[in-house]
Structure 1
Amino acid sequence: MTTLCPRIVAAMAAALLCAAAAPPGGGTISVEPAGRPDAPPVAPAVAERLREALADRGFTILPGTGHSAFVAAVTLDRTAVGTGSASVPSGQAAVIPGLVGGAAGGGVSVPLSGGKTRVVPLVRFALTVQIRERRSGAIVWRGAAVTVRAGDPSTRDAATVADLCSTVLRSYPHEAPGPVTVP
């Protein structure tokens, strides 16, 4: 039986650690759709929000595809997951002006829920981002964020997209063990 010298074991361990791709602290990156080369382009709202979040992490954003050192491969899935109920306000808010000529008065009318509800569709939004080295294809970081909101799965909700994009990269360069839930 052969015993390995502790120095050799330490050198092998260091080589393995160096060989694993580490999340970059910057460099050039482009936002591209994940999957096939003929995949539909990333929605402009998603791409713009993601570029902002990546720039905040020290990346230099390159427009277009095929020439950056890193690629942020993105998927955004919208799935109808059922229905929920929402309160329906009984009227519209209004400001009642005071009288003219120095007389006091006026007020604000705020509608309260009259106990009426309506059924609304619920949509699950799931954003996944993988940062990979363009040259080797090695994935150096991955993150995901998910939320469920009232709405229509065919529409692009800018506020929801903004929430998911800022959340998915919040822990960068550390990877969350699973998708981050956005309230």
Structure 2
Amino acid sequence: MKRWLRRNFLGLIAIVLLVPATVAITFANELGSYDRSRATEAISVAAADPADYAGTGWQLTDVRRIPWGSDEGADAGIPRGTDLVLVTVEVTPDRLDADGLPPLCIVRLDEMDGTSVQRSWANASSDLSDYRASEGVESYCTRETVDPYLLESIFLVPSDASDELAMGVQVEQELPRYLSLRL
């Protein structure tokens, strides 16, 4: 056994050193890929300011919050203890991809504490309440048109959510940067 250890000493040392180094390098590469695929770098825009992000113009046009206890909330069938937040944004596609289409985006509503996100909510499913989007507006980012359109996003949030809210807009090709429209 001692002869075998002596003959293979350098190989064993190489294994002891290279296996952890390989694991560390692989982990670092995967973590870097994970971070680049997440929305982590906010481009913060004040409520009244227009923004250009992902070759598209974004302009907040209206924000409404409907509490569950209000008459309008009861008519909309909002669940107890929640509020409906309606965010309308004018979207102006400027830069098109190779297929002549505007970028596809994902929106969310963020509850902010200064510059950090405390909680986030995705677009509310239409079966969560009886509220229906306004006529002539899109409920989600669309690739159906290259003309300017209105995007009305509907978010169902807990009633205790603060008024310090921002709508996050993510376009995959722009990640980790994302647009944060302060409401």
Asked if these proteins are the same fold (TM beyond 0.5), I'd say no
TM range (shorter): under 0.3
TM-score, normalization: structure 1? 0.24
Bigger RCO of structures 1 and 2 (CA < 8 A, at least 6 apart):
2
Larger Rg: 1
